[in-house]
Amino acid sequence: MNTLIYWFRNDLRLHDNPALTQAAAQAGSLLPVYCLGSASAVHNGEPRWGVMQPSLHRQRVLLDSLIDLDAQLRALGSALTVVDGPSADMLPKLARALDATAIHCETIAAPHEKSELDQLQQSGTQIVSRWQSTLHAPDALPFKAQDLPAVYTQFRRALARAITQPVAPLPIPSQLPPLPKTAHGYATVNLEDQLARLGGNSPEPRSSLPYLQAEFAGGERAALSHLARYFGGELPRQYKATRNGLTGTDFSSKLSAWLASGALSVRQVAQAIAQYEQRAGPNEGTEWLLLELLWRDYFRLLHLQYGAKLFRYRGLRDKVPPNHHDSAHFTRWCLGRTGEPLVDAAMHELLATGYLSNRLRQVVASYLIHDLGCDWRAGAAWFEAQLIDYDVYNNQGNWLYIAGMGTDPRGGRRFNVQKQALEHDPEQSYQRLWQTV
């Protein structure tokens, strides 16, 4: 019997998962695995910024997502095996113990995740990886991936001229191959025990993404339920007008955490947009939602093109002035003690909830880089540790954009914090709401 391992990474779902579908079609028995020590579960930053463990918020959402995935697998006669350790150590051991012929997984182009795959390949185990996180597959673009247009607008226009359409999402499998007979004979992690050790997070009534509520919880079932609920009403039509809001559950789509973990497929979101437009007609809101999905594609394709260059201080620029990172300024920024009311309120929200609106992410990033003169990579690392919707591609791409170290020709974005406060919080209601953590 051909035994295969399926390694879940940032694709914690059964629907529209081509790599899992491929593995299931080829396997006589299949062991689904998640590694808590993998790059997608731990912090990728540099030691110079200090010890940054994933926040309790981020850990909780991950555990909820894994518990949900396990329940879905069990409904198909399978189960999720969770191991605690680096994938390069744990997966080859499992493969040898099971006499597995290959490990299947999704391809992730970020440096730490790519290094994981390289180490696995050196172990002698056959690795079958598949790119599946973009709306438009690299081989379906009207240009080669290495010839990605230099700026986002050119990329978007090239797709529009080619009338490139995404492939329809795959359904949830009706069945999966059985588990290997010895699948439960290893030192595995009990997810419920892990959740208990994490401790009970207290609900935060001010949160704009209250992940402790069932409708916003981590996992595929909550993701698909929210997707149906969101596109079942009028909120998509209002998206462009409300997307720069600062607080509340309705000002944006709130799909980001599920997209980041892979509990929700981007092609599933695009299909929901198309169905909404068929019913309600094209509109600025859904058009803007699609543009956001294209930004997501663009950042992923940038990683395919440039890889580790996106993680160095100068980014894609040939030469930049030396940076004199101030660790004291950085610490005050992290804790919301800068003395700038809007910035401090935003950082308090991030600490208390693991979430921040897109507008405020830009404002606080700009303040750290352009007002405090700190290294943008330190801010990117802090967001990675804190955000429940952390996505390596989006996070790096957006910090490069604000710092002016990416492809944007305007050389960075500096936000006037006082102007932003007047425009987006004129009554100072947000600042009063988040005066304290």
For the record, the structure tokens of 53 come out as 């463990």
User: Using the 8-state DSSP alphabet, how is residue 306 labeled?
Assistant: H
Calculate the dihedral angle through the C-alpha atoms of 20, 23, 29, 30, rounding to the nearest 10 degrees: -40
Task: Report the distance separating Cα 314 and Cα 320, nearest Å.
Answer: 6
Out of 251, 275, 307, pick the residue that ends a domain. 307
Of residues 376, 353, 357, 45, the one with CA closest to residue 201: 353
In the block, tokens 């930004």 appear at 295
The answer on 383 and 303 residing in a single domain is: no
User: What CATH number does the domain containing 343 carry?
Assistant: 1.10.579.10
Say whether both 414 and 297 belong to one domain. Answer: no
Instruction: Collect all residues with Cβ–Cβ distance below 8 Å to 48 and sequence separation of at least 6.
Output: 378
Q: What is the pTM of this model?
A: 0.96
19 & 126 share domain:
yes
Residue-wise pLDDT tens digits, 291-349: 999 999 999 999 999 999 999 999 999 888 888 899 999 999 999 999 999 999 999 99
4 and 73 housed in the same domain: yes
In a domain, 183, yes or no: no
Q: What is the pLDDT of residue 183?
A: 56
The answer to whether residue 191 sits within a structural domain is no
Q: What total number of domains does the chain contain? A: 3
- Do the domain assignments include residue 193? no
pLDDT number for residue 41? 74
- Please report whether residue 360 resides in a domain: yes
**Alpha-carbon distance 32 to 179, whole Å?**
8
Query: Would you call 413 exposed, middle or buried from its count of C-beta atoms within 10 A (0-12, 13-18, 19+)?
Result: middle
* Buried residues in 195-228 as b, exposed as e (16+ CB within 10 A): beeeeeeeebeebbbbbbeeebbbbbbbbbebbe
Same domain, 281 and 162: yes
The residues facing 127 across adjacent strands are 103
- Asked which of 105, 132, 159 is the last residue of a domain, the reply is 132
Distances in whole angstroms, Cα of residue 184 to Cα of each of 94, 187, 189: 11, 8, 11
Helix (H) or strand (E) holding 130: strand 127-130
- Cα 433 to Cα 421: distance, rounded to the nearest angstrom: 14
Q: Tens digits of per-residue pLDDT, 94-147?
A: 999 999 999 999 999 999 999 999 999 998 889 999 999 999 999 999 999 889
Query: Do 79 and 46 reside in the same domain of the chain?
Result: yes
Domain with residue 163: its CATH number is 1.25.40.80
Cβ neighbors of 345 (< 8 A, separation 6 or more) are: 336, 430, 431, 433, 434, 435
Q: Are residues 3 and 97 in the same domain?
A: yes
Query: Would you state the pLDDT for residue 45?
Result: 57
Position 199 scores a pLDDT of 84
Phi, psi angle pair for 258, to nearest 5°: -70, -40
Pair 328, 347 in one domain: yes
Domain that holds residue 374: 312-433
In 3-state terms, what secondary structure has residue 239? helix
Is 187 inside a domain boundary?
no
Q: Do 156 and 73 sit in the same domain of this protein?
A: no
In a domain, 192, yes or no: no
- Pair (302, 396) in one structural domain: no
317 and 299 within one domain: no
Would you say residue 185 lies in a domain?
no
**Best CA proximity match to 142, nearest among 159, 154, 126:** 159
Residues 316 and 214 in one domain: no
Domain boundary among 285, 307, 329: 307
Would you state the pLDDT for residue 223? 98
Residue ranges of the chain with pLDDT lower than 70? 42-51, 183-186
User: Is residue 220 domain-resident?
Assistant: yes
